[in-house]
Amino acid sequence: MTHTTIDPAALAHLQTWHGKSETLSDSFTAMPVAALSATLDRDDPEPALGTAVPPLWHWLYFLPHARASEIGPDGHPKRGGFLPPVPLPRRMWAGGRLSWEPANPLCVGQQVQRRSTIQSVSHKAGRSGELLFVLVEHKYLNAHGLALTEEHDIVYRSAAQPGEAAPAPQKPPLAGQAAWSRTIVPDDVLLFRYSALTFNGHRIHYDRKYVTEVEGYPGLIVHGPLIATLLLDLLRRQLPDAQVARFEFRAVRPTFDLQPFSVHGKPSADGKTVELWAQDHEGWLTMQGQATLA
């Protein structure tokens, strides 16, 4: 297998997507909230009209509805349209930054508009091949105005190469200092239910033959957004009345379904921020985040 390359002309074409925008509307119904609560094994009351949607659970809405004939070989919708048609085969959610408007929460029963803009398309050649980064900004608005601003980092990578080294492992900066910890068992049912709830057909999360033989990973990959959601879910379990005003996170290393992993948190001394991180069964850092409380 050879590396896919992006020459200057191809990059220039992809960068014409800079500034491209789209506006979508969706109704924040109760069913996805109830279903994710069950998936995360939470004992929440049945969501009613006006129930605030927990932080990051807005990812249950504005789902792509590509027809079956428009699905690519990886299970994602074919490249092009709003996102640029990047030729690199591996696509990952690399991280993001989110800012909520505390006085204007997103709630069950609202009609919500999402205005999305591609802020940048950038390229880097690394030891493992080509990398292309796409930054998308989403603004979520309800009848009262802006409720949430999100910056979403997407990275596209070259196909796996024989003998390709995994990312250098890192220990969490606060290893051994967690105030809160929880072990997660990423079984097939958890990954299936989250894929179904987010209408995510990406085969790396459920097709073991594809993920190991085509993309070269050792097992099914736990969704980055699911891990981020579990980080804030840990915060909510420990501080149920806290209101998150800002959250930023970045994926550091893939998490596979082969072993349990853990999520951890440590509030700052003044209680205004909470450091959050996930680590695999060997203790290596897989995701790092920070929540700022309102």
Stretch 233-261: mean pLDDT: 97
* Chain segment 16-41, per-residue pLDDT in tens: 999 999 999 999 999 999 999 999 99
Joined tokens for residue 181 = 């910890």
**Cα first-last separation, the chain:** 50
Average pLDDT, whole number, for the chain?
93
State the amino acid at position 285 in one-letter form: L
- CA–CA distance, 285 with 292 (Å, rounded to integer): 21
The neighbouring-strand residues paired with 131 are 124, 157
Report residue 200 as tokens.
């995510």
Packed helices 31-39 and 188-197: angle between N→C axes, nearest 10 degrees:
160
The residues, any chain, with a CB within 8 Å of residue 213's CB and separated by 6 or more, are none
Predicted TM-score of the model (pTM): 0.93
Q: What is the pLDDT of residue 3?
A: 52
pLDDT score, position 279: 97
> Has residue 175 got a pLDDT over 60?
yes
- Count of CB atoms within 10 A of residue 132's CB? 24
| Residues 142-161: tens digit of each pLDDT | 999 999 999 999 999 887 66
**Residue (of 89, 224, 212, 103) closest to 152 by Cα position:** 224
Of 122, 146, 133, 228, nearest to 184 by C-alpha is 228
